[in-house]
């Protein structure tokens, strides 16, 4: 029956029936489904794509690297691991490994699965089994393990594995800039600053020079770990090594300072951005405006608003929305309406959620002129049917949330 369903032209539509048959076999037999049946299904349902691949390889005189069964198994294991069903994936692997020859990709999929669920001990056992069978892990595999160890707070184990890569690793598994970046950030978060900058020096001496993206990852990781001083040192290090920070790197730093409400340091960093010859972006000013409104300092937010004009930084819709909501929250309704008039004059399209919330604010202050003008403006972008659908959807969401709370 499985063979008939799997060999028709419309077998994809019949896949649900095949699953029902497997479920029936398991219930009647009160046991697991025979392995041969599962392999047959995998082979049949991947045969279409593998057949085209075989024809292409034969035409180009290229030998296939893996048998179809191995590719099918890898697809199944990868799907399970991405759904966090790593234990089930490994059980399937041990059941079929005597009939289907695993390759390095098979082990890498399972290894990455255990790293995904933050179980580095099981991942290392699998890595040892992989090496015993003669498969050489690449640097991507090691990077996953080191990142998993660091995420679990096992810095010593990560350091030991890093040293193993340096001393016993091959060319394929030598540390990359990504490997060094993971270790440096982990050491910084663990207050091991001496080892952190020592490793940064070793990185340069080994010939593995960090680039802008590597420095960006280091600064972002240090800022998230609260190591602001260390991040400043790395920022200075970038300029010395000939990699001046770009605005994305500065914004990563600025975001942490704004989240911590360190206004003085944030403004100092903004001045440093300008002095370095790197122009602040719209996102830079949006973060500063948000921070000052959250700190109940609307005057500072207005100064940043005018600074954008002075620096000729073109505002976007999000900037206007932040300013309007911030001014309304600060009780400065007249100024908020002036900014809203600028939105209408510039013919900008507000997202419907922001338009809806601004209408509520205008209704609260009773500004009928602004309500009518904004309604006429937004009618050009949103029709009545869309507005009605949006209102019904929001009502259903609010009702479901109330039921969950009850």
Q: Are 69 and 95 in contact (CB under 8 A)?
A: no
Q: Domain residue spans in the chain?
A: 246-314, 338-406
* pLDDT number for residue 295: 92
Nearest to 143 by CA among 107, 188, 111: 111
| pLDDT greater than 70 at residue 118 | yes
Indicate the pLDDT class of residue 301, thresholds 50, 70 and 90.
Answer: very high
Indicate the pLDDT class of residue 50, thresholds 50, 70 and 90.
Answer: low
Render pLDDT for 163-180 as a digit per residue (tens, 0 to 9).
Answer: 878 776 655 567 888 888
- Residues 121-148 have a mean pLDDT of 82
The least confident of 15-24, 209-218, 267-276 is: 209-218
The least confident of 96-105, 213-222, 380-389 is: 380-389
| pLDDT greater than 70 at residue 1 | yes
Q: How buried is residue 317: exposed, middle or buried, by Cβ count under 10 Å (0-12/13-18/19+)? A: middle
* pLDDT number for residue 58: 54
pTM (whole model) above 0.85: no
* pLDDT number for residue 19: 76
User: How many CA atoms lie less than 13 Å away from 282 in the CB half-sphere?
Assistant: 9
Report d(CA 281, CA 400) in Å as an integer: 40
Q: What is the mean pLDDT of the chain?
A: 79
């Amino acid at each position: 029956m499985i063979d008939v369903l799997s060999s028709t032209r419309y077998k994809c539509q019949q896949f649900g029936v095949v699953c029902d048959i497997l479920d029936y076999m398991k219930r009647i037999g009160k046991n697991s489904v025979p392995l041969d049946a599962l392999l047959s299904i995998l082979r049949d349902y991947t045969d279409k794509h593998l057949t085209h691949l075989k024809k292409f390889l034969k035409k180009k005189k290229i030998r296939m690297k893996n048998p179809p069964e191995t590719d099918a198994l890898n697809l199944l294991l990868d799907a399970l691991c991405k759904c966090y069903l790593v234990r089930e994936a490994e059980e399937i692997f041990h059941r079929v490994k005597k009939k289907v020859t695993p390759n390095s990709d098979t082990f890498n999929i399972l290894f990455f699965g255990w790293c995904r669920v933050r179980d580095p001990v099981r991942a290392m056992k699998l890595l040892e089994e992989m090496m015993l069978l003669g498969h050489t892990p690449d640097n991507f595999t090691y990077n996953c393990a080191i990142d998993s160890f660091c995420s679990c707070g096992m810095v010593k184990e990560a350091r030991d594995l890093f040293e193993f890569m340096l001393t016993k690793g091959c060319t394929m598994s030598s540390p990359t800039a990504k490997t060094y970046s993971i270790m440096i950030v982990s050491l910084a978060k663990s207050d091991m600053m001496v080892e952190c900058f020592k490793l940064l020096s070793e990185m340069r001496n080994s010939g593995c020079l960090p680039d802008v993206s590597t420095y960006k990852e280091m600064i972002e990781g240090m800022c998230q770990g609260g190591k602001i001083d260390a991040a400043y040192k790395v920022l200075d290090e970038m300029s010395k090594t000939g990699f001046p920070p770009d605005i994305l790197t500065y914004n990563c730093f600025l975001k942490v300072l704004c989240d911590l409400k360190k206004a003085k340091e944030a403004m100092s960093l903004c001045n440093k951005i300008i002095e370095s010859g790197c122009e602040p972006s719209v996102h830079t000013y949006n973060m500063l405006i948000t921070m000052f409104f959250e700190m109940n300092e609307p005057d500072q937010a207005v100064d940043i608003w005018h600074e954008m004009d002075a620096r000729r930084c073109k505002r976007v819709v999000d900037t206007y929305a932040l300013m309007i909501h911030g001014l309304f929250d600060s009780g400065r309704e007249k100024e908020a309406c002036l900014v809203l008039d600028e939105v209408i004059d510039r013919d900008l399209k507000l997202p419907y959620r922001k338009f809806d919330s601004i209408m509520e604010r205008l209704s609260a202050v009773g500004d009928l002129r602004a309500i009518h003008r904004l309604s006429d403006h937004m009618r050009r972008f949103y029709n009545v049917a869309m507005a009605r659908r949006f209102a019904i959807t929001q009502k259903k969401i609010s009702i479901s949330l109330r039921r969950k709370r009850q």
